[in-house]
Amino acid sequence: MPATDPHVSATVRLGTVGVAHKPVSAAESIAANRLWWDADADDYVAEHGDFLGEASFVWCPEGVTEADAQLLGAVAGRRVLEVGCGTAPCSRWLTTQGAYAVGTDLSAGMLRHARVSADATGVRPPLVQATATALPFAAASFDLACSAFGAVPFVADSDRLMAEVFRVLRPGGRWVFSVTHPMRWIFPDDPGEDGLVAQSSYFDRTPYVEIDERGSATYAEHHRTLGDRIREIVGAGFTLTDLLEPEWPDGHARLWGQWSPLRGKIFPGTAIFVCDKPV
Ligand SMILES: C[S@@+](CC[C@H](N)C(=O)[O-])C[C@H]1O[C@@H](n2cnc3c(N)ncnc32)[C@H](O)[C@@H]1O
């Protein structure tokens, strides 16, 4: 554990004692991450809530907003699924833009904050607790789907997640999601100078797993290379329309975990995939 653990509540509550790089199944990843995000929800909101806003759509720590980037295209009147919505600021922003947004997330703890924010703003998109790998919606239910750092890196079977999103989108629908840029995998999660020195192999897909004293996973993250990610997008049936690698903006001083101006000026921290379901 780092000397100052920003996730101390989750670490203590789940009894995390260390990090392992080891295979972890889809079911164990879901079980661990549900509990981890429940335990971390208060800390997440305290640390990132003001940056994310109550009803705004921020794609990444670099601060790209959907209002500016318009990666989803016109949203008014569209049925939009948000995957891994967390506290759901994006779903609330979409609702304010006239979309019929539905927020889904694995964690009841994160969705509890989403309800608090719904009460505070009066903007109330429906919220559904579900894993993104088994979406409880009929085929072709949505025009658009989106995810800002939700779900995709946390599942062992992200090819299944892509197939699920493909299934619930109508033909001609669009799927846009942001994740940590795959090249960050090779560096330690450090916003400073130490975060500039490569330590791990880009090609090693062994998951990052935090464990308790019995060796059970308390948190899991799954690396995909850029090529892996493109193959699972195309394998699900999507066309990859664009891949954005946002540059760190001048004057943006805000740290987000390992994301910092120092690192962001040198190499990308976020990848945003724009995928279309053929008509
Ligand atoms: C980094 S947060 C992002 C939340 C939100 N999109 C935001 O911008 O703040 C990641 C979210 O993914 C959710 N998540 C993790 N695994 C998931 C899964 N298998 N299915 C759905 N959501 C999942 C977590 O509960 C958490 O709310």
Q: Which distant-in-sequence residues (6+ apart) come within 8 Å of 74 by Cβ?
A: none
pTM, to two decimals = 0.96
Q: How many Å apart are CA 24 and CA 131, to the nearest integer?
A: 17
Distance 267 CA to ligand 1 centre (A): 24
Within 13 Å of residue 97, how many CA atoms lie on the same side as its CB? 22
Name which residue sits closest to atom 16 of ligand 1, judged by CA. Answer: 151
> Per-residue pLDDT for the chain (279 aa), expressed as one digit of tens each?
344 677 889 999 999 999 999 999 999 999 999 999 999 999 999 999 999 999 999 999 999 999 999 999 999 999 999 999 999 999 999 999 999 999 999 999 999 999 999 999 999 999 999 999 999 999 999 999 999 999 999 999 999 999 999 999 999 999 999 999 999 999 998 999 999 999 999 999 999 999 999 999 999 999 999 999 999 999 999 999 999 999 999 988 888 888 889 999 999 999 999 999 999
* Ligand 1 environment, Cβ below 6 A: 30, 33, 37, 52, 84-86, 105-107, 110, 131-133, 148-151, 154-155
The label of the residue with tokens 């879901």 reads 30
CATH superfamily of 22-276: Vaccinia Virus protein VP39 (3.40.50.150)
* Single-letter residue type at 89: P
Residue type, 65: T
Nearest protein CA to atom 11 of ligand 1, as residue: 150
* Residue extents of the structural domains in the chain: 22-276
DSSP, collapsed to helix, strand or coil, labels residue 270 as: strand
